[in-house]
Amino acid sequence: MSTYPSACPYDCPDGCSLLVETEGNAVTSITGDPANPYTDGWVCAKLRNLPEAINSPRRILTPLRRTGAKGAGEFEPISWEEAVGEITSRWKDLIARYGAQTILPYSYAGTMGIVHRNCGEGFFHALGASRLKRTLCSSAKTAGWQKVMGNSCDLSPWEVAHSDLILLWSANIPATRAHLAPILRKAKENGAKVILIDVYENPSVDFADQTILIQPGSDGALALSMLQVLDQEGLTDEAWLSQHATGWEELRATLEVWDPEETQFLVGQPPDVIRELARAYGQAKAPCIVLGSGFSRSGNGSEATRAIVALPAAVGAWAKRGGGTYGICSSPALIDKSLVKRPDLADPHTQEININLLGPVLEGKKVDTPIHSLYVYHANPAAVTSHQNAILRGLEREDLFTVVHERYMTDTALYADIILPAPYMVETADLYTPYGYRQIQYVQPAAPAPGEVKSNFEVFRLLSAAMGMEDPYGGSTVEELCRQMVEDSAVLTREQKDKVLAGEPVVLESPFPLPIETADGKVHLDEPIITWFPPFGGGEPFHLVCAPAIHTLNSSFNECASLRELRGEMSVRMNKEDAARLGLAQGDKAVCYNDLGEMTCTVALDRAVAPMTVVAEGVYPGKNTVNCLTHARLSDRGDATTMNDNTVWIRKA
């Protein structure tokens, strides 16, 4: 038995350091590495169960060519030579007929490793393919934060322990921030009060002293209302505001309309609840907002972020240890990724396709040069991207040449013309810096890649050579690129660099108070005045929200039978009164439908949900899953997904 240090590659703020045990070439166990104080020696159930997927007989181990109809899942093994030959000859032909923009790369966050996540960009920029705007997750939230806070970072997770009032705002701690749980417990032991603000009683309720369920998309109205109460009741920190903020007087002059008497109908909570929340926030010594991203995947998501981020400024929370926000931008850029992303190779005149618009684009809408080839790597758009039915119709097109680089038969891979076999992280080297705290780790493979599996980096090198292109990385290996990026870091000290290069996880302290990194060093509460406007969905019929599941991560881990079982069947949660009106009881089958599609699933009534709201946890495999009901519409800023902002009708199945 051997033990290797490794890092979790999944799109999760916790970014754990791992210990991987192997017997021969087989990975036998994955645990948390105590060398990383945030991981603290333990990992979630997903990672503990990952060896089952890594060793699964269902892994794709050779390149495959489609033999049946698209979507039928019939393939034959072929060699890498044949696969690369077929891909590049089809591409050369398509480029000659339509130009290189007819090829669309599609990738998101299957791996967060800096090299393997980003190295396709160098290749596709050099090829002149369409550019992909990767805004599938929280770019509305980032855009809102940046308007107020510029390039500032927010708190490191361990700082939350110093807070005496913690608002878990649109955040599911057990699912998406499990390592914050011990910190929340510590804060509670020290007397902190915890309030959950969500559209349903998500599993974070176990930490909450109080739960406030609000209408989806009403967060901005709630935050503005809290500001109105803080102002009315003299709970703002005028000294801090005058020294560290601009635009407060202008914002304050507009707050009257956000009186809780007015906003109660938007928020769905009585004025007293809103006032009490504002008072608790204004009277706390160091209030901290742990802000998830769910609320920001909405037509008003960026503006709502601005309103929420105005709260810590209004009470001067940033000046108090434990005060501020956690979960928005908790890690400064320790590494410059441009060595791998190669933005210098991108032609700004090449068409840019928003990742959320894949369905319409494959159907020939919202695109100048129509797409005739799609190359999907570390993403599963047939399951995770909005307007699933349009995506499936697009993937069925006979004139679309689709290549999917994958580890197992995903919903997207089913439609591929060519599938290429991809690795798990234990089989590759890479450099990892999580977005939920200041950490960096350089990882070497713990096991050899099985069968004919090749990494993203290896595949792009093969494709680049076969297209007769110059290697964007000048012949460097993954290890050399990682070393170079560490050496070039403007943030790490020499000692930290040496530690990273020796394979140790390096965790950085955060400064206190955090610097405000805007052009003038001030928090910006104007330009323009922060406001609220209605989301796309809402009212009657039901507002549909997509929430994370504990045992899977987006569509990742759907390949693990044990985790699928722990997660249970596809369901929607709603409140008992709404269910009763529709004649639905716990465990009944219901059909959720709208203009885009319909999904049949089980009704779950065991957690409280805001009125006229349904919550679908997790991304399930198959057709007619929740993203058949989500529109390909973009947020107010940041061009983000609005998958939490849709309306559905419901009937008993």
In contact, 541 and 638? CB cutoff 8 Å: no
Residue type, 423: P
- Pick the piece of the chain touching Mo ion (CB under 5 A) from 131-139, 190-198, 309-317, 399-407: 131-139
Q: Provide the minimum distance between the beta carbon of 551 and Mo ion in the complex, in angstroms, as a whole number.
A: 16
The residue among 149 and 553 lying less far from Mo ion, judged by its C-beta, is 553
Among 294, 327, 291, 304, smallest CA distance to 199 is for: 294
User: Quick one: tokens of 316?
Assistant: 């001067």
Q: Provide the minimum distance between the beta carbon of 580 and Mo ion in the complex, in angstroms, as a whole number.
A: 34
Residue 176: which of ligand MGD, Mo ion, none does it interact with, CB under 5 to 8 A by kind? ligand MGD
What is the spatial order of strands in the sheet that 17-23 belongs to? 2-7, 17-23, 26-32
The residue among 394 and 548 lying less far from ligand MGD, judged by its C-beta, is 548
In contact, 446 and 22? CB cutoff 8 Å: yes
Residue 199: which of Mo ion, ligand MGD, none does it interact with, CB under 5 to 8 A by kind? ligand MGD
What is the rounded distance in angstroms from the CA atom of residue 126 to the CA atom of residue 491?
A: 30
Residue 50: which of ligand MGD, Mo ion, none does it interact with, CB under 5 to 8 A by kind? none
Q: Provide the minimum distance between the beta carbon of 461 and Mo ion in the complex, in angstroms, as a whole number.
A: 28
What is the rounded distance in angstroms from the CA atom of residue 624 to the CA atom of residue 553?
A: 19
Rounded (5°) CA angle 329-200-559:
70
Cα end-to-end distance, the chain, whole Å: 52
Q: Count Cβ atoms within 10 A of the Cβ of residue 191 and give its class: 0-12 exposed, 13-18 middle, 19 or more buried.
A: exposed
Q: Helices (DSSP H) in 319-473: which residue ranges? A: 338-341, 358-362, 381-384, 388-395, 456-466
Footprint of Mo ion on residues 285-314 (CB under 5 A)? none
- Pick the piece of the chain touching Mo ion (CB under 5 A) from 21-29, 136-144, 331-339, 514-522: 136-144
Residue 423: which of Mo ion, ligand MGD, none does it interact with, CB under 5 to 8 A by kind? ligand MGD
Give me the residue label for tokens 């929370």.
317
- Contacting residue, 50, 54, 137, 429, with Mo ion by CB under 5 A: 137
Other CB atoms within 10 A of residue 71 CB: 16
Q: Provide the minimum distance between the beta carbon of 178 and ligand MGD in the complex, in angstroms, as a whole number.
A: 8
What is the rounded distance in angstroms from the CA atom of residue 582 to the CA atom of residue 648?
A: 14
The residue among 525 and 546 lying less far from Mo ion, judged by its C-beta, is 546
User: Could you tell me how many residues make up the chain?
Assistant: 653
What is the rounded distance in angstroms from the CA atom of residue 389 to the CA atom of residue 395?
A: 10
The residue among 386 and 496 lying less far from Mo ion, judged by its C-beta, is 386
In contact, 418 and 392? CB cutoff 8 Å: no
Q: Provide the minimum distance between the beta carbon of 607 and ligand MGD in the complex, in angstroms, as a whole number.
A: 10
What is the rounded distance in angstroms from the CA atom of residue 224 to the CA atom of residue 302?
A: 14
Quick one: CA torsion of 137, 112, 156, 5, rounded to 10 degrees? 150
The residue among 101 and 305 lying less far from ligand MGD, judged by its C-beta, is 305
| Bridging pattern class, strands 165-169 and 193-198 | parallel
Residue 36: which of Mo ion, ligand MGD, none does it interact with, CB under 5 to 8 A by kind? none
Footprint of Mo ion on residues 148-187 (CB under 5 A)? none
Q: Provide the minimum distance between the beta carbon of 285 and ligand MGD in the complex, in angstroms, as a whole number.
A: 24
In contact, 358 and 400? CB cutoff 8 Å: no
The residue among 241 and 404 lying less far from ligand MGD, judged by its C-beta, is 404
Residue 454: which of ligand MGD, Mo ion, none does it interact with, CB under 5 to 8 A by kind? none
Among 489, 487, 521, smallest CA distance to 501 is for: 487
Residue 426: which of ligand MGD, Mo ion, none does it interact with, CB under 5 to 8 A by kind? none
The residue among 33 and 198 lying less far from ligand MGD, judged by its C-beta, is 198
The residue among 194 and 626 lying less far from ligand MGD, judged by its C-beta, is 626
User: Quick one: tokens of 102?
Assistant: 């007819």
What is the rounded distance in angstroms from the CA atom of residue 153 to the CA atom of residue 159?
A: 13
Residue 106: which of ligand MGD, Mo ion, none does it interact with, CB under 5 to 8 A by kind? none
The residue among 478 and 492 lying less far from ligand MGD, judged by its C-beta, is 478
Q: What are phi and psi of 265, to 5 degrees?
A: -75, -25
Q: Provide the minimum distance between the beta carbon of 137 and Mo ion in the complex, in angstroms, as a whole number.
A: 3
Residue 110: which of ligand MGD, Mo ion, none does it interact with, CB under 5 to 8 A by kind? ligand MGD
Question: Residue 434 contacts by C-beta under 8 Å, 6 or more apart in sequence?
Answer: 12, 13, 14, 15, 112, 331
Q: Provide the minimum distance between the beta carbon of 625 and ligand MGD in the complex, in angstroms, as a whole number.
A: 7
Residue closest to Mo ion (Cβ): 137
Q: Provide the minimum distance between the beta carbon of 355 and ligand MGD in the complex, in angstroms, as a whole number.
A: 9
Question: How far is C-alpha 556 from the chain's CA centre?
Answer: 12
Q: Provide the minimum distance between the beta carbon of 247 and ligand MGD in the complex, in angstroms, as a whole number.
A: 25
- Pick the piece of the chain touching Mo ion (CB under 5 A) from 70-78, 132-140, 213-221, 339-347: 132-140
Q: Provide the minimum distance between the beta carbon of 558 and Mo ion in the complex, in angstroms, as a whole number.
A: 16
- Pick the piece of the chain touching Mo ion (CB under 5 A) from 35-43, 134-142, 328-336, 509-517: 134-142
Which residues here bind ligand MGD, judged by CB under 6 A?
Answer: 11-12, 108-111, 116, 136-138, 169-172, 175-176, 197-200, 202, 214, 216-217, 219, 292-295, 298, 377-380, 384, 405-407, 410, 422-423, 456, 545-550, 552-556, 615, 619, 626-627, 643-644
Q: Provide the minimum distance between the beta carbon of 99 and ligand MGD in the complex, in angstroms, as a whole number.
A: 26
The residue among 10 and 240 lying less far from Mo ion, judged by its C-beta, is 10
What is the rounded distance in angstroms from the CA atom of residue 156 to the CA atom of residue 326?
A: 7
Q: Provide the minimum distance between the beta carbon of 155 and Mo ion in the complex, in angstroms, as a whole number.
A: 20
Element (H, E) at 166: strand 165-169
- Chain residues binding Mo ion by CB under 5 A are 137
